[in-house]
Amino acid sequence: MSRRLLIGAVAPLFLAAPAYAQIDHSQHAQPAPDPHAGHAMPAAPAADPHAGHAMPPATPAAADPHAGHVMPAPPAADPHAGHAMQAAPAGGPVGDAPPPPIPTDRAAERFYSREAMQAARDQLAKEHGGSPAWKVMLSTAEIRPDDDAYAWSGEAWYGGDLNRFVMKSEGEGERGGDLHSAEVQALYSRAIGPYFDLQAGVRHDFEPGPSRTYATIGFEGVAPYWFELEGAAFLSNKGDLSARFEGAYDLRLTQKLILEPRAEIELSAQDVRELGVGSGLTSAELGLRLRYEFRREFGPYVGVVHERKFGRTADIARAAGEDRQATSFVVGVRAWF
């Protein structure tokens, strides 16, 4: 009887032990938050890529003496990282900083003498545009079988990329006869851009007589689409003012076959009867030449040229018994060296 009472008293303890163990483990799995423990610092917000500058760093929290440790504060944002340079304030100076000094510590001079390296630098500058050059260009040299005449135009120059001395000449005459016109120009040429030169100097006409000398100012260059343009104004020693404009274009049918239209007009500010010139538009010449370039420096051609006088100049020519217009077949050569 006593044994049964003992078993009955101990059995409830064994039955309650598993339930107690489950309750105890559930309490350890999710511990209650410690009111004294330090809270983790929230992450700093990401910098807005569209903002002018980065967000300021968060202020670190004070250390809680009851917490195990304090979370470190996020590092401060680099003000120079992650965004572009800001523009200068409106109205402030822009780009006025002085240029950096010219370097003088040339590394090659540690192995070679200063004199040898200076000679090498001078040679380099010379080979890249620092040396003078020259060219002789015969634009037209032709005969006109219909009129039993001949004509020429060309130029020669010497100098560098910016400054040149230029000689020009053109004229025409009869084969076995007299010159109808002949002139020479001596000019100083100065580059005023990548494609145009400003020219000034003197021009002297040998024919038709009486001869004249002119102060000259003009331009020469290449317009967009590779039109060759030239123009000048002339003031004679007699006070006569005139002008001339020329244009040409190379239309490449093949790499060697080129069709060249060319035009020239002349104007005068007053009548100069001793030269057979009237005021206004005096004359024009239109030419069309087809040449074959055996080499770039040499190209024979055939073509046609039409000349016409206008206005008062045409009236003066009619009164002198001269033709006001003429069309000629031409054969010639274009060359340069």
Question: pLDDT tens for residues 228-252?
Answer: 999 999 999 999 999 999 999 999 9
Question: pLDDT tens for residues 292-330?
Answer: 999 999 999 999 999 999 999 999 999 989 899 999 999
Question: pLDDT tens for residues 146-173?
Answer: 888 999 999 999 998 899 999 999 999 9
Q: Domain ranges in the chain? A: 133-336
Residue 43 reports pLDDT greater than 80: no
Tokens (6 digits) for 19: 């339930």
Which helix (H) or strand (E) covers residue 249, if one does?
strand 241-249
Rounded CA-CA distance 152/140 in Å is 5
Q: What is the pTM of this model?
A: 0.65
Question: pLDDT tens for residues 252-284?
Answer: 999 999 999 999 999 999 999 999 999 999 999
**Identity of the amino acid at 25:** H
Spatial CB neighbours of 184, under 8 Å, sequence gap ≥ 6: 167, 168, 169, 203, 204, 206
Strands (DSSP E) found in 116-211: 133-144, 149-159, 163-174, 179-191, 196-207
Q: Are 211 and 223 in contact (CB under 8 A)?
A: no
Instruction: Identify the weakest region by mean pLDDT among 21-25, 202-206, 208-212, 305-309.
Output: 21-25
Looking at CATH, the fold of the domain delimited by 133-336 is given as Porin (2.40.160)
